[in-house]
Structure 1
Amino acid sequence: MTRRPASSLPPPKLRRRLREAAALTQTQLASRVGVTPGTVRAWESGRTTPRGRKREAYAKLLKTLAEEDAARQAARAPEGGRDTGPASASQPKARPVPVVVAVGVRDGAGHETPEAADSLVLPAKPLTEFAAEPDTATEQGPGPAPGRETEPEQGPGPGPAALTPAQAFDVLYEFSAPALVRQTYLLTGRREQARESVERAFQTAWEHWPEVARDRDPVGWVRATAYEYALSPWQRFRPRHRHPEPPPADPGDRTLLNTLLRLPPRHRRTLVLYDGVGLDLPETAAETEASTPTTANRLLHAREAVAGRLPALADPEVLHQRLAELASNERLRAGLPTTVRRGSERRARFWTRAAIAFTVALIGTTALTVHTAPTHYEPPVSPGVAVRGVPPRVAPGALSDEELELRQKLRDQVQDGPERLSPKTE
């Protein structure tokens, strides 16, 4: 009996585009598939993948939406005088990412030394060369027929050597940590908090490394975690938050940073992702877990607020370049990858031991309670009653003559009384 191959699904980004092209909300699509809107949101962001009957229903619905979108594109082709056939549905036109020039770090003399690692934009770099390949039957459609062996493809040369999980983590950290620290600095305006947020995000990624290594965009996974930690409302209760850090030395950078910090956290995050990092609008919406119209409104309001205070930054290209310069002018450095990995392992050991200690304490408390608990009913003790007529107790001392005489008299008499009592007549 052969196993039925799983239905193929388009990439998560294309799933969201097909739904929006059909003017369907996540709630409407969830009702047609038979799941919750949160499940659809997770499917479109790539965090989870449907399985079983839900996968087949979802794939069938997406195929229908793709055919409808291709038909609409074909109907509009004669009107516009150009061919926008089905290829436009599979390869939607993305927002052109602005080119980032090599922005250097200013030294003490005021000169600039270009550094490639100080760029604000990170290209998408999957970990396919040092992570396990995803399930081809799940992501790439049906595989070879049962009972047929496939021979490995012979490349032009020897393939790259497989890296260990620790080496793969170090490669990802060295590649993305410097730029992520600078991006987080634009969100918080605090150097130490930005560095700590990125290191904490990488520690969380090391704890969930199999999931991160298989992710299509591991940098985006870490970036979302770092942003969530940096913008957490609990940060304001930390003692470090009460002491402000020195602002940037350049007056223009200081004004731009203050303008960013005055924006609401969600608008600030959307502006940094779209105009700073260079993500597309659906990708920004997926990372911020919001709809595309909501993300567009947040971006427009953030741009309007920045342009209201700095009119020179009304152009998105100029704003992107200024954000890159602001992030690169600060000397922000991340820790070593080995230190981050050891910190993650140390924290995992601490919480594991704390959980074990709590469990042992709970078991001991329960056993002590069971051992000392009464096994039968004990009536309550009645309240005491005051006794009257009892002479007060006196302190012991020497006996008086009368007491000595009485004691001698009692000793001389027979203690048991007369031997026999006999009645007498009067």
Structure 2
Amino acid sequence: MDAPFPSRYRRFSRPGPAPQSACDLPAYTRRNTLAQAVVRREPVEHTFPLFDGRGNPWATLTLRSSAKSTKSVPTFHEKEHINGSFELTAEKGDSIQSVTVTITGRVVTGSTIDDSYTFFSHSLPLWSKAESRSSGAAAKLLGTTSWPFSIPMPKTVGLKEGSRADVQYRLPETFLERHIRGSISYEISVLVSRGKLRSDCEIKTRFAYIPGIRPDPPSLLRQLAYREHAELPGPEVDPLGWFGSTTAVVRGSVFKTRQAAIHCMLSLANPLSYTRGTVIPVRLMLESTDGQALDIMSAPSAPVITLRRHVRYQNLATSTKRAADWVDAVEDVCRAVLWPSASGVDAAYSRCLEGEIKLPKDLASTSSIGLFTVSYTIVLSSFEAAGFIPATSHHILAEPVTIATTHARDSPRPLEYAPPSYAPLPLARRNDFYAAQAIVAGPHSR
């Protein structure tokens, strides 16, 4: 017996009660949890002291950042300066030669010094004995001295690749996860250099960097739908607002009795760049001359559409000049929620599903820095449908997309359209670095 076609879910953009019927799901109100104005936080102050043998702080690095709290890792966004100060108490006879602050960005693939690659480094002298002597100032530090600093982070860095001239890369976002050996790490350190008879001292800490990746605005019709809390226009009404993939054919057997073929076309909201914390609108059109197979495959829970993350980096410890040892870490981080389309036209041999992929707020952004890349693809990988056995396990459709960190300029925030009963299926592991406490390293005694 043919499987019944799932009940259609009708949505209404006008205020007031929605009509009910036996085959309708309950009406719901569209959620606009992302439309609030962004409020810029006051800078958070982080302090990192070094203590002498008596437990008294004699040097303190202070940073002011956009982090959520003092317990969070210092966080800086693109176009922000690394603002802070360094305070030092010098005793009589302390042979300090110079004080220098340095910012470093590295790709790390292991635990040894050979397992890291520095893609960015910038040093700023805070004090020098030689320069003080030449300028006529005091040549020795005595008592407590504080040096404020403000260091701009560049938007891009140039890296030499083989015989090619410097290739420009956008500074990547901090990336650190327990189950992936490769990472992107930023660090700020202050080095207190002394004479030959006394050891140098260094205070350092990691910080998080977030690039300003901004998507282009959506189509005018989609913007209008967001502003008016109306239904999203489909590809047939708003062709500029959707990107349609090529048609793929899924072949398999129905209840082990006969062969069937389903034609699939996946449409994604255009442009193919989406801000984390928002949603990716998707549509799936299915066509087949086998009505029973079509009903089975068009159940909202049957298609498996996921956002797939691909982290690729070079293992510096095992790579040679002749061959690069690349490591690939691939995982599905979140899955689409689908429901029967209210605007798509269902014919005898076609079904239309619409839905969305909810992106976690802490999803790592798309990035590339030569030896380390984070990329994303939306994949229609399979169908989880009882009674249908696909002929192959390979993914069906795939489209590369960009995960951005900020919202489109002069455009309303995307709305969530999933009915309340259709819970999202998050699969993402969070970027562990943002939950970690910053680490202070270096000698803790004078």
Which TM-score applies when normalising by structure 1? 0.21
* Higher strand fraction (1 or 2): 2
Which TM-score applies when normalising by structure 2? 0.20
Whichever of the two has the greater Rg, that structure is: 1
Q: Specify which structure has the bigger relative contact order, considering alpha-carbon pairs within 8 angstroms and separated by 6 or more residues.
A: 2
* Higher helix fraction (1 or 2): 1
